[in-house]
Amino acid sequence: MEIAVFSAKPYDREFLNAANTTHHHRLHYFDVPLDIETVGLAAGYGAVCVFVNDRADAGVLQALLRGGAKLVALRCTGFNNVDLKAAQDLGIKVVRVVDYSPNSVAEHAVALMMAINRKIQRAGNRTRDFNFSLDGLMGFDLCGKTVAVIGTGKIGRVFTKIMLGFGCNVIGYDKFPSPEFEVLGARYARPKEIGESADIISLHCPLTPQTYHIIDADTLSRAKPGALLINTSRGGLIDTEAVIDALRSGQLGGLAIDVYEQEADVFFRDLSGTIVTDDVLQRLVTFPNVIVTGHQAFLTREAVTTICETTLQSVTDFETGNALSNEIRAS
């Protein structure tokens, strides 16, 4: 099948080409993200392959259909950037990668948490200058601390297992609680208890209208003073301005994020030679107790291999009329 691959980075090309040796699709790579300005590039392709910040809203989907596309294949888990209702009305199928490596994201969340608690970025910056002073680098033991996991699905549960291994008490919140979480040795708690007792809060739920700004001024005011907040899920879960206020007042002890509300305008490109006009991001990165990575939690060899194989298998299934096991529909 002819596939237009948007937001294509060198690693996408390498791993999609490798996976395609068994599928034999014709892959055409475009560096630019899919949006209303670039959708014309997809004319003549039966499928488009997109990533987290490509925008498949109703207007884009209509243009895709006019160009002949009948399939949107997301090479990611989250699908908040696709208007599923519009796709369904237009008869465009949407597939995603439900299951790749929850370890990749959970392990990155742990890396961020460790880095912010033990001030690894600050320490690394110092020692590059042969500054071996320890002032300001004190962290806390994880063993015995309470970690709250918001969203106890695949990634949340791997994160839970790792935290239990550190000797933490893990409490969770999920709209749809699962026994698998409790079997690990963790337990569910109400938001009030989470606020009062969590030393670390890690977000692992999807971005939906219900979870948009799940962390806002109100939840932050009820958090344990000095708590750490980790977000590897989606930027929109956090009201970034409110988080900045909480960091400034000391109510929040640290923030480690792999995702950012306005990331579509800045992430996945090298802006080091330009003036970034996003004042919120500018302010965030100046805090000594903030770490930002650029949506790289998925970026392990194992995860990207599975993502590319699953994506191309879905396209093959679509082409051959097989059932689409990774299809997502409007609820």
Catalytic site includes residue 295: yes
- Cβ partners under 8 Å of residue 260, min gap 6: 235, 240, 266, 267, 281, 284, 292
CB of 189 to ligand NAD, least distance (A): 12
* Closest residue to ligand NAD using C-beta atoms: 153
Let me know if 263 is a catalytic residue: yes
Among 16, 60, 148, 205, binds ligand NAD (CB under 6 A): 205
Which of the residues 297 through 326 are near ligand NAD (CB under 6 A)?
Answer: 297-298
Map 213-244 to HEC letters. Answer: CCECHHHHHCCCCCEEEEECCCHHHECHHHHH
Rounded to a whole number of angstroms, the minimum distance from the CB of residue 228 to ligand NAD is 17
Contact 296/120 with Cβ under 8 angstroms?
A: no
Decide: is 195 part of the binding site for ligand NAD (CB under 6 A). no
Instruction: Find the catalytic residue in 295, 302, 319, 329.
Output: 295
User: How many Cβ atoms sit within 10 Å of the Cβ of residue 2?
Assistant: 14
Residue of 234, 309, 327, 329 with catalytic role:
234
206 binds ligand NAD (CB under 6 A): yes
Residue 68 to residue 90: CA distance in whole angstroms: 12
Q: How far apart are CA 302 and CA 290, in angstroms?
A: 28
| Distance in Å, CB of 296 to ligand NAD, minimum | 7
- In angstroms, what CA-CA distances link 85 with 58, 61, 82, 92, 317? 9, 11, 9, 10, 22
Query: Is residue 154 near ligand NAD by the rule CB under 6 A?
Result: yes
- Residues in Cβ contact with 259 at an 8 Å cutoff, skipping those fewer than 6 apart: 231, 232, 233, 234, 235, 237, 295
Q: Which of 38, 47, 74, 153 binds ligand NAD (CB under 6 A)?
A: 153
Among 175, 190, 248, 269, binds ligand NAD (CB under 6 A): 175
* Catalytic site includes residue 13: no
Supply the residues annotated as catalytic.
Answer: 234, 263, 295
Which chain residues interact with ligand NAD by CB under 6 A? Answer: 77-78, 102, 105, 150-156, 173-176, 204-208, 210-211, 232-234, 258-259, 295, 297-298
